[in-house]
């Protein structure tokens, strides 16, 4: 598991998929801004709660987020 790559994928979702600044990105998830910068820089591992909330809020495919494999967004027909 490469934290740097996971962080890059989190940043990709935030900037390219949602187009939101860090604060608004996490606020929509009901979270505080405190650790999003560290996550995006690959300095910390996202919690299960963060991953689940990101999946629910933005329809992110968690397999892609963690491994880089598959589609970025979860197919809503699953």
Has residue 77 got a pLDDT over 60? no
33 three-state secondary structure: coil
Has residue 78 got a pLDDT over 60? no
19: tokens are 């187009």
Cα Rg of the chain (Å, integer): 11
Length of the chain, in residues = 78
Predicted structure pTM score: 0.90
Task: Identify the residue whose tokens are 């329809």.
Answer: 59
Has residue 6 got a pLDDT over 90? yes
Per-residue confidence (pLDDT) for residue 1, from 0 to 100: 75
Has residue 54 got a pLDDT over 60? yes
């Amino acid at each position: 598991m490469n934290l740097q790559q996971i962080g890059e994928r989190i940043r990709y979702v935030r900037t390219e998929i949602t187009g939101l600044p860090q604060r608004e990105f996490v606020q929509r998830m009901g979270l505080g801004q405190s650790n999003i910068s560290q996550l995006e820089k690959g300095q910390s591992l996202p919690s299960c709660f963060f991953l689940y909330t990101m999946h629910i809020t933005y329809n992110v495919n968690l397999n892609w987020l963690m491994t880089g494999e598959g589609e970025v967004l979860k197919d809503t027909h699953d």
